[in-house]
């Protein structure tokens, strides 16, 4: 009897040990120099004339009691500089194809007003225009990305805008710029040729847009920027692969620098769900939509590879993020929503996808920067807070312009109501100083997961970490408690015989640094 019990104990122990071993996920990292650079512009942002993004967000006017520089809030500038934002897209979005840039230059009292037909039907007084935006970019030390009006504008209007902001010699447009107080050109390199041409930008077909693009791009000449302009075509809505195919087939490679892609993590456009008061079921469905980015980037890239095997043309994901119902009591056209740990996890997993496709994805823009959709900053008159998404973007900023290190990971599954998603995502880079950064995301709402990494293969001996985590998925920063969620030191790892074993808590984002 004792012998039988001993055998049963050994059998049970061995099975438990085997099960525990299976629970550890191996993350293999190849430390090689022959890899693409993670373009810093993947970490770009977006500021549309929408809701309180510009007015009441970035721009409060130079008579405001809120500390400002030429009307732009100093606290926002300081926060975004710490975030190291590499580019900022403006003025839209849908607003771009109703925006006539000459309405926003010259003395503010002489500028005409328009109605923002897309976002709330509010009056736009054009007090924040081209000079204001480009001067803001100089304050931020970031690259401007201007979205041109193809929908209601003309070829001449867009060509004049390029000349106005970029031409250093004598011309009608450069003379007008100087008259309005700016002698030196801004030399803007990144230009969008229309926005969402398949929808709010004109409801065009792919074939029609490709022809219009060629016409507009032809007259967008520039001799000021080394290498010329980066012209970015209005790209596909999520999985519209025919759109990308048509553009790549019909637009010569020397006329195009990037093809856009827009994808929002929306579970149902008619009923998107609350930004804070959501169930695990809604969380799981949101993450299903977010992780579709992997498939979208892979398939759109494969189409581009057929026509551009040398990958000269960038895939530009210039609108992405979570989109929920607006906060109760707010204007439905203003798209103001809170930002929780769900958004932090969504951001980290998406950035991992972009990093791992750095050979083709070279620009991306989170939608949006302040007070709109998945914002990194929220304001309420004099108050300002940083959202969980802000903290993730700051943690991940170490990947900017670093060398991508290829990884291999077979993720455990996060299962809910009979459906499953990969629980873990990761991306790894090596910066110019030789520091290796490993970003890890666990989307699992309930379980922690263990990851093992061979440190000897990476050539690192010391590891430090930072984590963004909280007790509830719905946790968020509020104006009453603006620091409820913020990064803290991470110590949930141990080193054994050259192996780094990391315990990743549920719905958390981690950044490790090795040297």
Convert the pLDDT of each residue in 455-489 to its tens digit: 887 888 899 999 999 999 999 999 999 999 999 99
Tell me: pLDDT of 512 over 80: yes
Tell me: pLDDT of 14 over 70: no
Mean pLDDT of all residues in 445-449: 97
209 contacts: CB under 8 Å, gap ≥ 6: 194, 197, 198, 202, 233, 234, 247
Query: Would you state the pLDDT for residue 4?
Result: 44
Higher-confidence residue of 5 and 372: namely 372
Residue-wise pLDDT for 276-311, tens only, equals 999 999 999 999 999 999 999 999 999 999 999 999
Which domains can be identified in the chain, with CATH numbers? 23-33+406-514 (2.60.40.1180), 40-401 (3.20.20.80)
pTM: 0.94
State the pLDDT confidence band at 17, using cuts at 50, 70 and 90: very low
Of 15-29, 39-53, 65-79, 414-428, the one with minimum mean pLDDT is 15-29
State the pLDDT confidence band at 31, using cuts at 50, 70 and 90: confident
Q: Which two tokens stand for residue 133?
A: 């935006």
pLDDT-above-70 percentage for the chain: 95
Query: Would you state the pLDDT for residue 236?
Result: 96
Tell me: pLDDT of 33 over 80: no
Q: Is 196 a catalytic residue?
A: yes
Q: How many CB atoms lie within 10 A of CB 363?
A: 27
DSSP annotation string for 247-287: HHHHS-GGG-SEEEEEEEE-S-SS----SSS--HHHHHHHH
Catalytic residue among 143, 212, 224, 319: 319
222 contacts: CB under 8 Å, gap ≥ 6: 162, 166, 167, 228, 229
DSSP state of 316: E
DSSP annotation string for 96-136: GGG--GGGGSS-GGGPPPEE-TTTTTPEE---S-HHHHHHH
Parallel, antiparallel or unpaired: strands 314-322 and 499-504: unpaired
- Average of per-residue pLDDT values in the chain: 94
Of 91-100, 383-392, 397-406, 447-456, the one with minimum mean pLDDT is 447-456
Query: Would you state the pLDDT for residue 32?
Result: 83
Query: Would you state the pLDDT for residue 190?
Result: 97
DSSP bridge partners of 422: 413
Query: Would you state the pLDDT for residue 456?
Result: 81
Query: Would you state the pLDDT for residue 350?
Result: 98
Tell me: pLDDT of 8 over 50: no
DSSP state of 95: G
Mean pLDDT of all residues in 407-424: 96
In contact, 272 and 253? CB cutoff 8 Å? no
Query: Would you state the pLDDT for residue 226?
Result: 63
Tell me: pLDDT of 77 over 50: yes
Mean pLDDT of all residues in 481-504: 95
Catalytic residue among 196, 224, 327, 452: 196
- Cα distance between residue 251 and residue 267, in whole Å: 34
- Cα distance between residue 236 and residue 475, in whole Å: 33
- Cα distance between residue 198 and residue 266, in whole Å: 19
């Amino acid at each position: 009897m004792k012998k039988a019990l001993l055998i049963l104990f050994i059998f049970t122990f061995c099975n438990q040990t085997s099960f525990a071993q299976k629970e550890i996920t191996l993350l293999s990292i190849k430390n090689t120099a022959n890899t693409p650079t993670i373009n810093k512009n993947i970490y770009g942002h977006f500021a549309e004339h929408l809701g309180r993004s510009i007015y009441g967000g970035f721009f409060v006017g130079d008579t405001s009691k809120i500390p400002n520089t030429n009307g732009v809030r100093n606290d926002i500038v300081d926060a975004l500089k710490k975030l190291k934002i590499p580019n900022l897209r403006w003025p839209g979005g849908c607003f771009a194809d109703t925006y006539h840039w000459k309405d926003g230059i010259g003395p503010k009292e002489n500028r005409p007003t328009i109605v923002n037909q897309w976002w709330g039907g509010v009056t736009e007084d054009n007090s924040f225009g081209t000079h204001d935006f480009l001067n803001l970019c100089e304050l931020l030390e970031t690259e401007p990305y201007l979205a041109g009006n193809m929908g209601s504008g003309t070829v001449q209007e867009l060509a004049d805008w390029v000349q106005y902001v970029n031409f250093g010699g004598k011309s009608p447009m450069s003379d007008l710029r100087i008259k309005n107080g700016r002698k030196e050109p801004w030399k803007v390199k990144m230009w969008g040729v229309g926005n969402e041409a398949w929808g709010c930008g004109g409801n065009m077909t792919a074939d029609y847009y490709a022809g219009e693009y060629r016409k507009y791009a032809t007259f967008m000449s520039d001799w000021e920027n080394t290498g010329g302009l980066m012209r970015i075509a209005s790209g596909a809505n999520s999985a519209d692969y025919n759109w990308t195919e048509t553009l790549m087939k019909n637009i010569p490679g020397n006329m195009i620098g990037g093809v856009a892609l827009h994808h929002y993590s929306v579970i149902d456009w008619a009923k998107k769900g609350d930004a804070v008061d959501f169930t695990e079921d809604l969380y799981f469905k949101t993450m299903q939509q977010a992780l579709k980015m992997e498939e979208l980037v892979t398939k759109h890239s494969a189409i581009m590879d057929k026509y551009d095997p040398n990958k000269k043309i960038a895939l530009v994901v210039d609108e992405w993020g979570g989109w929920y119902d607006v906060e109760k009591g707010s204007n439905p056209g203003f798209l103001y929503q809170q930002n929780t740990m769900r958004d932090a996890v969504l951001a980290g997993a998406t950035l991992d996808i972009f990093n791992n496709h750095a050979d083709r994805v070279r620009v991306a823009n989170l939608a949006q920067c302040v007070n709109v959709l998945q914002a990194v900053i929220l304001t309420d008159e004099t108050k300002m807070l940083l959202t969980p998404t802000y903290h993730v973007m700051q943690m991940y900023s170490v990947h900017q312009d670093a060398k991508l290190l290829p990884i291999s990971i077979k993720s455990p599954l996060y299962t809910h109501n009979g459906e499953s998603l990969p629980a873990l995502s990761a991306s790894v880079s090596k910066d110019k100083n030789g520091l290796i950064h490993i970003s890890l995301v666990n989307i699992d709402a309930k379980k922690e997961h263990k990851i093992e990494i061979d440190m000897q293969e990476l050539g690192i001996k010391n590891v430090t970490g930072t984590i963004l985590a909280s007790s509830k998925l719905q946790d968020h920063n509020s104006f009453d408690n603006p620091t409820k969620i913020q990064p803290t030191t991470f110590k949930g790892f141990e080193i054994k015989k050259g192996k780094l074993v990391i315990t990743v808590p549920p719905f958390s984002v981690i950044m490790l640094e090795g040297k």
